Chains A and B, each alone.
Chain A
């Protein structure tokens, strides 16, 4: 079945080359006789040739970002986040309320915590653009894993319930300090991850809304729904990647718009390729209430060990697959910026043949001057790109303490046109209030910097939205 789709994609592409319209070409395609659909699976590749074509230009270079003066929630570090969505992919609108779910860790006075280690699911809600904290989505003590990583969140308006698909990460966080992975130096906020065996779990809750906001109640029993099988998807025991990188995580649940069947994409390492550069975009399908592993749709052998938070965006003529990749996961001597990468299935079939966007796959890379300003991207149906401000405001990737922002990034947009994309942002005059990243040095000559007080920096018309 997969093989046939592969050929369909090629036919379409060749038709394009010859100048025949795609519709006409498909109409002329003769049926393959029964029996010629031989067994076996074909997985689209992000290939070493593609990797070498990664080229950051004006259209796929992210703007430089300046953190806001007032971040969304200054009581926590926020990183990966995603909206509560209905199964058709729209951002859920529940009596006007919209919900943002994300990974978080409480800010402490002792500097920057090892926040991945303490990852908890929190949520925020808004009606008018002003976000209010909702607290924990569920009690971590009742969830699988010692902490929970990303994820997706689905809302069913019929039953007024939400389903939270999360990554259950094992190990005891208190042992973390003794088991620092070599790739993160001591003191790095990303350090301190305890053992990272990962499974995928779900929990369902009721959703209650009123004038005050949104609450998740009647939290059901958590269910572990997927584990790496060791054949298609590598187990941590077999992993050859750095344990920081190894993945069986980031479930992104969706409904196939054609069949109505429910699937999820997730990030994993191939069980059929020893690695370490063996990242794949995994697939599972819900069959009779159970989740079943399927073959991945994209593999990156000898390219990257990590295709994180994979997700899809549909357009009239194609379906787009996006993921996040760290610069340190590429196979040497290849390289690419920390950023949003993607491929397109021109057939419009999300299980069809994918080709890299912009030749190399790079859709939005952090600018060279601020290589780690953002990470963990999510392209919404509108083309807007969510991410979080990581070390924004400090160039060079070696932030001094206190420059980790940990809040949602301002949105930019990407426009998709066939196998090319372009970054765009426009409209409103820029906001005035930015967060000072470095305190001004002591005033040595008297005067100057106090001439403009903080209160003068907020123009009357600037809103938070």
Chain B
């Protein structure tokens, strides 16, 4: 294991030669030879960590590739079942237990879950005259509602913190219900500091206008991850269409209170195309997962272009274990968002790579996703958590799983659902929400059997404390707060 981000070139060379000896001095050296049963334990880790940078020297003597030989087609990084299955819950990735009684509601009378900061175009968290802004999904808490209902009620709220003070509720982002879709799921938000224009990217769920209540339930679609929480206020018509929407507004400090004014037209910018990304109809026809959501806007520093990462199901893989992908779309020269190939696929591993986002560091581009334990496929058993990958080659490069298996942050086994929906901020601090506490042995699937009071009492529904993590090449660890 490397202890630091630097890749020791000399040590690597010696290890490589030592590996040659192990192999060439014959196969009867049991200590050096990996066995089929436990190859990962006997092969020195560094042997496989070929230093791409030091190889540049070798590559200098290699000729470049003539035009035309970069044949068309797409290369997609994959997350392999062998990696996800090899995850171990070390101190580096398991967070401490969150004390539910210590939590404070941000928006009184409302559940808050997925949240994300207002960012500058370079990805930094915006600070406007001392104000930092968070957006989050919210639903009003009423006596007839259980936390599982919130997915069918979700819309965006704005929260603010002045000069690092307490977070305060700034109200609904679309109080008039003029957003698209029956509900609005996560998203991202960016402010142009020159014009103070804010652009919001959200997921519109369903075809109903948001002021029209959904009826019936419970939902029959297992991939809206709601059945286990007993949500009632959901569509019964199969998977609700998920589309990505952009809308812009002016940011202003009205009477010292941040507000969004002049909300523009809500524009559908991405709909599953059916070739790269699975449509609701395709998902229904093959009774497979349907994910097309969580737009995360970013500007690529190398090309200067605007992209959106999102969570999706592939249309180009159609088997039951096709898994989920991290999708990519690009704003082309005509101002149209066009779907590109995904940057990561998890066939046979996991079918929901939720809320993908990036953190750029000198030693690589980090990609993070959230996933539930029940989203893993087949024999893969892995905890709900924040999973991560790193690329040396930018957004179109090869993403390798962090910490060998991909797991970056998970809840302790004593409170396995205490947080979810993680966002790694540029500083390395991880934002999430307080989810369920003190569940029965049945875990998430046991929630619906409990009384509404019990369900509400065991749900956090507010921001969780930040957990700092250290990014160190292909490894991460939880940092001291």
Q: Which residues of A contact B (CB under 8 A)?
A: 9-10, 13-14, 16-17, 19, 22, 47-50, 52-53, 55-59, 61, 63-68, 70-72, 83, 90-91, 93, 98, 100, 126-131, 315-317, 344, 346, 353, 355-356, 358-360, 367-370, 380-384, 386, 389, 392-396, 407-412, 415-438, 440-445, 448-449, 451-452, 456-461, 464-465
Contacts and interface: CB of A to CB of B under 8 A. Distances in A.
B281 A98 contact: no
A64 B65 contact: no
Contacts of A129: 67-68, 70
Interface stretch (B55-63, B196-204, B210-218, B444-452): B55-63
Contacts of A346: 17, 20
18 contacts: A53-B43, A58-B401, A91-B63, A129-B68, A358-B48, A369-B323, A395-B321, A415-B52, A418-B17, A418-B20, A421-B50, A424-B392, A424-B398, A425-B398, A448-B272, A448-B281, A452-B271, A456-B273
Contacts of A395: 317, 319, 321-322, 347-348
Sort A-B residue pairs by CB-CB distance and give the 7 closest, nearest first: A426-B393, A16-B17, A418-B16, A49-B27, A369-B347, A68-B72, A410-B73
Interface string B265-307: 0000001111110011110111000000000000010010101
B260 interface: no
Interface stretch (B30-38, B108-116, B425-433): B30-38
Interface of B: 12-14, 16-21, 23-25, 27, 33-36, 39-40, 43, 47-52, 54-55, 58-59, 61-78, 80-83, 238, 241, 271-276, 279-282, 284-286, 300, 303, 305, 307, 315-319, 321-323, 328, 330, 332-334, 336, 338-341, 343, 345, 347-348, 391-398, 400-401
Nearest to B57: A316
B69 A430 contact: no
A449 B273 contact: yes
Contact of B74 (A47, A66, A394, A459): A66
A16 B20 contact: yes
A52 B36 CA distance: 5
Contacts of A425: 75, 393, 396-398
Contact of B340 (A17, A355, A432): A432
A64 B76 contact: yes
Contacts of A316: 58, 61
Given A395-B322, A457-B339, A426 B398 contact: yes
B449 to A, nearest CB: 33
A438 to B, nearest CB: 6
Contacts of B271: 448, 451-452
Contacts of A386: 69, 71
Q: Which one of A131, A433, A458 has the greatest number of beta carbons of chain B within 10 Å?
A: A433
Contact of A381 (B63, B67, B300, B397): B63
Contacts, number: 351
Contacts of B43: 53, 55, 359
A49 B275 CA distance: 44
A430 B12 contact: no
Given A63-B78, A410-B70, A440-B281, A460 B332 contact: yes
Contact of B21 (A13, A57, A392, A415): A13
A465 B398 contact: no
Contacts of B58: 315-317, 415-417
The interface residues of chain A, by DSSP majority, are classed as loop
Given A55-B40, A424-B398, A430-B341, 4 more contacts: A427-B393, A429-B305, A457-B338, A459-B332
B281 A13 contact: no
Contacts of B20: 13, 16, 344, 346, 355, 418-419
A266 B192 CA distance: 61
A223 B346 CA distance: 50
A116 to B, nearest CB: 21
A13 B340 contact: no
A449 B279 contact: yes
B18 to A, nearest CB: 6
Contacts of A50: 23, 27
A328 B272 CA distance: 38
Nearest to A449: B274
A452 B273 contact: yes
B371 to A, nearest CB: 17
Contacts of A17: 17-18, 21
Given A420-B47, A429-B395, A445-B284, A315 B72 contact: no
B393 to A, nearest CB: 2
A328 B80 CA distance: 22
A66 to B, nearest CB: 4
B21 A429 contact: no
Contacts of A91: 63, 66, 69
Given A19-B14, A418-B17, A449-B282, A428 B396 contact: yes
B32 to A, nearest CB: 9
Contacts of A381: 62-63
Contact of B69 (A407, A411, A412, A428): A411
Contacts of A67: 73
Contacts of A412: 75, 398
B316 A393 contact: yes
A355 B23 contact: yes
A331 B238 CA distance: 49
A434 B316 contact: yes
Nearest to B391: A426
B278 to A, nearest CB: 9
Contact of A52 (B35, B81, B276): B35
B24 A9 contact: yes
B150 to A, nearest CB: 26
Contacts of B81: 368
Given A420-B19, A430-B340, A58 B75 contact: no
A48 B36 CA distance: 11
A438 B318 contact: yes
A105 B63 CA distance: 32
B279 A448 contact: yes
B310 to A, nearest CB: 14
Given A55-B39, A315-B61, A436 B284 contact: no
Contact of B34 (A55, A65, A367, A464): A55
Contact of B75 (A63, A90, A369, A441): A63
Nearest to B365: A426
B221 to A, nearest CB: 13
A448 B315 CA distance: 14
A419 B23 contact: yes
Contacts of A434: 73-74, 275-276, 316, 341
A93 B69 CA distance: 13
Contacts of B317: 369, 393-395
A398 B341 CA distance: 23
A67 B339 CA distance: 15
A367 B346 CA distance: 11
Contacts of A422: 48, 50, 52
B55 A417 contact: yes
Given A131-B68, A417-B50, A63 B77 contact: yes
A368 B347 CA distance: 8
